[in-house]
Structure 1
Amino acid sequence: MDNIFGDAAERLFAQTCTPDVIRRAEQGQPSGDAWRACEEAGFADALVLEDHGGAGLGLADALPVVVAAGRHLCPYPIAHTLLARAWLSRVQRPQASGAIALAPQGLAIDDGRVAGTNVAWARSADYVLAGIGGQTWLLPMQAARIEPNGVHGSLDGGVSWALADAERIDHVAPLETLAASAYTGLIAGAMDRVLAMTLDYANQRTQFGKPIGRFQAVQQQISEMAEQVWAARMAAQLAFQGEDGLPRPLLAALGKARASQAVPRVADIAHAVHGAIGVTAEHDLQLYTRRLREWRLAAGSESHWHDRIGADALASRSDALTYLRTALYGKETA
Structure 2
Amino acid sequence: MEDIYADALRGLLEDCCTLRHVREIEAGGPAGALWEAIEGSGFANALLPESVDDGAGLTLADAFALLELCGRFAVPVPLAETMTARALLAQAGVRRPGGSIALAAGRLDADGALSCERVVFGRVADWVLAQVEGAPSRCLLLPVDAAEATPAVAPLDAGLRWPADALAAAPSFEGGEALRLHQARLLAAQLAGALSAVFERTLQYANERQQFGRAIGKFQAIQHQLSVMAEHVFAARMAAQMGCTAGDAPTLAPDALRVAVAKARTSEAALEVAALSHSIHGAIGFTAEFDLQVYTRRLHAWRQAAGAESHWHDLIGTLLVDGRFERSLDLLRAATDPVAA
TM over 0.5: yes
Instruction: Name 1:253's counterpart in structure 2.
Output: 260
Q: Give the match's secondary structure for 1:136.
A: strand
Instruction: Name 2:190's counterpart in structure 1.
Output: 186
Answer yes or no: is the 8 Å Cα contact 2:258–2:335 preserved in 1: no
Q: Give the match's secondary structure for 1:129.
A: strand
**For 1:66-77, what aligned pairs fall within 5 Å after superposition?**
66-77=67-78
Tell me which amino acid in the other structure corresponds to 1:24: E
Seen in structure 2, the aligned counterparts of structure 1 residues 18 and 303 have a Cα distance that, compared at 3 Å, is: same
**For 1:77-96, what aligned pairs fall within 5 Å after superposition?**
77-96=78-97
Deviations 1:221-251 (A, max 9, x none): 0010011110111011101102323332221
Whole-angstrom distance in 2 between the partners of 1:317 and 1:280 = 48
Instruction: Name 2:165's counterpart in structure 1.
Output: 164
Answer yes or no: is the 8 Å Cα contact 1:106–1:119 preserved in 2: no
Q: Give the match's secondary structure for 2:290.
A: coil
Deviations 1:233-270 (A, max 9, x none): 10111011023233322211110111001011100111
Once the two structures are TM-superposed, the CA of residue 183 in structure 1 deviates from its matched residue by: 0.2
Question: How many equivalent residue pairs?
Answer: 329
Deviations 1:190-244 (A, max 9, x none): 0111111101111111000001011110011001001111011101110110232
Matched, 1:47 2:50: no
Seen in structure 2, the aligned counterparts of structure 1 residues 107 and 78 have a Cα distance that, compared at 3 Å, is: farther
Tell me which amino acid in the other structure corresponds to 1:59: L
Whole-angstrom distance in 2 between the partners of 1:328 and 1:205 = 39
Matched, 1:225 2:233: no
Whole-angstrom distance in 2 between the partners of 1:317 and 1:264 = 30
Once the two structures are TM-superposed, the CA of residue 170 in structure 1 deviates from its matched residue by: 2.8
Deviations 1:26-77 (A, max 9, x none): 1211211111111111111111111122111111111111111100100001
**For 1:298-317, what aligned pairs fall within 5 Å after superposition?**
298-315=305-322, 316-317=324-325
Instruction: Name 1:240's counterpart in structure 2.
Output: 244
Once the two structures are TM-superposed, the CA of residue 279 in structure 1 deviates from its matched residue by: 0.5
**For 1:197-208, what aligned pairs fall within 5 Å after superposition?**
197-208=201-212
Tell me which amino acid in the other structure corresponds to 1:281: A
Whole-angstrom distance in 2 between the partners of 1:273 and 1:106 = 39
Whole-angstrom distance in 2 between the partners of 1:234 and 1:2 = 16
Instruction: Name 1:19's counterpart in structure 2.
Output: 19
Seen in structure 2, the aligned counterparts of structure 1 residues 251 and 327 have a Cα distance that, compared at 3 Å, is: closer
Answer yes or no: is the 8 Å Cα contact 2:67–2:186 preserved in 1: yes
Seen in structure 2, the aligned counterparts of structure 1 residues 107 and 8 have a Cα distance that, compared at 3 Å, is: farther
Whole-angstrom distance in 1 between the partners of 2:89 and 2:300 = 29
Answer yes or no: is the 8 Å Cα contact 1:59–1:247 preserved in 2: no
Instruction: Name 1:9's counterpart in structure 2.
Output: 9
Answer yes or no: is the 8 Å Cα contact 1:58–1:245 preserved in 2: yes
Q: Give the match's secondary structure for 1:60.
A: coil
Gaps of 5+ in 2: none
Answer yes or no: is the 8 Å Cα contact 2:319–2:325 preserved in 1: no
Q: Give the match's secondary structure for 2:116.
A: strand
Whole-angstrom distance in 2 between the partners of 1:143 and 1:189 = 33
Once the two structures are TM-superposed, the CA of residue 4 in structure 1 deviates from its matched residue by: 0.9
Deviations 1:277-307 (A, max 9, x none): 1110100101110111000010001110110
Seen in structure 2, the aligned counterparts of structure 1 residues 156 and 143 have a Cα distance that, compared at 3 Å, is: same
Whole-angstrom distance in 1 between the partners of 2:261 and 2:77 = 25
Matched, 1:136 2:139: yes
Answer yes or no: is the 8 Å Cα contact 1:57–1:245 preserved in 2: no
Whole-angstrom distance in 2 between the partners of 1:63 and 1:77 = 15
Gaps of 5+ in 1: none
Instruction: Name 1:285's counterpart in structure 2.
Output: 292
Whole-angstrom distance in 1 between the partners of 2:124 and 2:243 = 25
TM-score (norm 1): 0.94
Answer yes or no: is the 8 Å Cα contact 1:118–1:156 preserved in 2: yes
Whole-angstrom distance in 2 between the partners of 1:10 and 1:326 = 33
TM-score (norm 2): 0.92
Whole-angstrom distance in 2 between the partners of 1:218 and 1:278 = 15
Whole-angstrom distance in 2 between the partners of 1:188 and 1:310 = 23
